[in-house]
Amino acid sequence: MPAQPAGPNEAVAAEVAQGPALKATERPHPLTPLIRGWVLLVAGVVAVGQDLLPGRRSPDAPSVPWWWFLVAIGGVAFLAGLASILTWWFTRFVIDDEEFRVESGFVNRSSKRIGFSRIQSVDVVQPLAARIFGLCELRIEAGAGDSGVVLRYLTRDKAYRFRDYLLSRAHGHTTTVAESGARPQASVFEDLSSADRVLVRISPQQLLIGLLTSFEFFISVILLVVAGVIAWRLGAGIAAMAAVLPFAMGVVGLVSRRVLTQFNYTLAETGGAQRPAPGAIVGSAAESPASVEPTGLRITRGLTNLTSQSVPLDRIQGVRIRQSWLWRRLKLHRVDIEVLGYASSGDDNQKQSSSMLFPVATTEQVRIAMAYLLPGVQDEFIPLHPVDPKAKWLRPLSFRTLRWGADERVIVSEGGLLVFVRDTVPHAKTQSVRVSQGPLQRRLGLATVHVDTTPGPVDFVIPHLPVAEARNILDNQLPAAAHARQLAADARLEQQWFVRPSHPPAQTMDRLES
């Protein structure tokens, strides 16, 4: 008797019994063990080879055959290579249209899945060894308290494609990995594609001027000179100058680090997913060409190690602009930003993410960046109020520089003598407000207002205000924050009205048609 075809219920039951189809995972690039292991190998060779240098071995030390060092170096190379191979073999990841998941560990296996909405930043780092082979690190920062994920190493094209895709999904755009791969790809020497628009490019001359006139360089040179004079006066001529070598190496390291890690510092506007141009009728034959919606700023820097950092605009919590007394004469600034999820403000390539926007910038360059960091905010034209004159008893030299102001969008505070600091915090990013008083402030009738945001370089403080004025700011700041969030929500709603997404939800379509 011929077999009867299975009914619909039997087919569904068979499909459920088999379970969902397993997704195909992929490993990092096969050259990953070589790149990760060579650093350990070099460190082992240096540690073992130091004993071979003349004068390093004690005369009483037992002689060791030369082949012993070859065995030791071979053992270090074998262990480093084995650890790198095991790490690479047991690391798998999935980045598709449905999920982002990373599996790792050969002793303790772990599987980590990160929702697209929790992704805060995606950076691409190209160390020198990986850059030679055209490979990159992909660093994904997730929510606060999450350690994030680092994928070592991927091909340059794949890292750029995944970066663009994850950032688009993090900003709520409906796109696919294939669509991200079809966008204009970045160049080899700088991570900028034809879809990115360069806003500011800092020249090497500007970097050097900023370094040579910075407090950090001045202090390093002064320590070097003092150590040299002391060593020459107390030592035995040239031999005593060996004590100065660490200070000299520190100065050389400072200069080389700034030149290597901040070379070709570029700030660009980067686009996210494509969207229809304003006024387009989706699905019609006369649909307007798609435009690219800006989703953030992209910072690229580095000579030997190329680092590409994407700064999401909607997660910027505050801006700090600093000037030393000499930089004020040269009209130079350093700009740091407070980004949700960034715990530190380091400026080297070893940090997961840097909170530094500009190591050194002119006034015009700062204005260009502020127009993108805080769109629609004219913080330079906000009227500023001085602090109470009684503050001269607490800050006799700098009390005249302390000022603050606010409008319906942001609150501003500035001041400082040797280093002038200006902090700007959007009302909508306020998390809490508090007032503090020290014993001297209580006696003078003064108080300090703190506006708290996420941890970062911006520590917003308005010091030495009259108690009544401080209390007034305390009472009005949270309502101002609620009002600013409502304005932002209305702006997003207006954008939904005039710019239709590719697949508008039913409620949005009904509202537009009505």
Tens digit of each residue's pLDDT (9 = 90 or more) over 504-514: 333 323 332 33
Most confident region among 23-27, 131-135, 236-240, 459-463 by mean pLDDT: 459-463
Of 137-146, 354-363, 395-404, 501-510, the least confident:
501-510
What pLDDT digit, counting tens, does each position of 331-367 carry?
Answer: 999 999 998 876 544 444 444 467 899 999 999 999 9
* pLDDT at residue 275, as a whole number: 43
d(CA 450, CA 227): 42
Residue 496 pLDDT > 70: no
With tokens 């530190």, the residue in question is 344
* pLDDT at residue 38, as a whole number: 73
Residue 221 pLDDT > 90: no
Neighbouring-strand partners of residue 269:
197, 297
* pLDDT at residue 494, as a whole number: 59
d(CA 26, CA 45): 33
DSSP three-state, residue 201? strand
d(CA 391, CA 488): 37
Token reading at 1 = 């008797």
Residue 491 to residues 73, 456, 486, 510: CA-CA distances in angstroms? 63, 27, 9, 20
* pLDDT at residue 137, as a whole number: 93
Residue 236 pLDDT > 60: no
* pLDDT at residue 153, as a whole number: 92
* DSSP per position, 150-181: EEEEEEHHHHHHHHHHHHHHHTT----HHHHH
- Listed residue (50, 448, 124, 173) closest to 298, CA to CA: 124
Side by side, the strands of the sheet bearing 446-452 are: 432-436, 446-452, 460-466
**345, 354 Cβ separation under 8 angstroms:** yes
What pLDDT digit, counting tens, does each position of 26-62 carry?
Answer: 999 999 988 887 766 666 666 655 555 544 555 555 5
* pLDDT at residue 200, as a whole number: 94
pLDDT band with cut points at 50, 70 and 90 for residue 106: confident
Residue 500 pLDDT > 80: no
Token reading at 478 = 């949270």
pLDDT band with cut points at 50, 70 and 90 for residue 495: low
Does the pTM of the predicted model rise above 0.85? no
* pLDDT at residue 510, as a whole number: 36
Residue 432 to residues 249, 424, 427, 479: CA-CA distances in angstroms? 45, 15, 11, 11
- Listed residue (337, 208, 197) closest to 263, CA to CA: 208
Residue 289 pLDDT > 90: no
What pLDDT digit, counting tens, does each position of 243-280 carry?
Answer: 677 777 778 888 877 778 888 899 998 865 444 444 44
**152, 166 Cβ separation under 8 angstroms:** no
pLDDT band with cut points at 50, 70 and 90 for residue 384: very high
What pLDDT digit, counting tens, does each position of 171-185 carry?
Answer: 778 888 888 777 776
d(CA 228, CA 382): 50
* pLDDT at residue 101, as a whole number: 93
Spatial neighbors of 13 by CB under 8 A, at least 6 apart, are none
**129, 38 Cβ separation under 8 angstroms:** yes
**100, 116 Cβ separation under 8 angstroms:** yes
Say how many Å lie between the first and final Cα of the chain, rounded: 61
CA atoms within 13 Å, Cβ hemisphere of 166: 27
* pLDDT at residue 267, as a whole number: 93
* pLDDT at residue 471, as a whole number: 96
Segments in 50-124 forming alpha helices (H):
66-89
pLDDT band with cut points at 50, 70 and 90 for residue 368: very high
**116, 166 Cβ separation under 8 angstroms:** yes
The DSSP letter of residue 286 is T
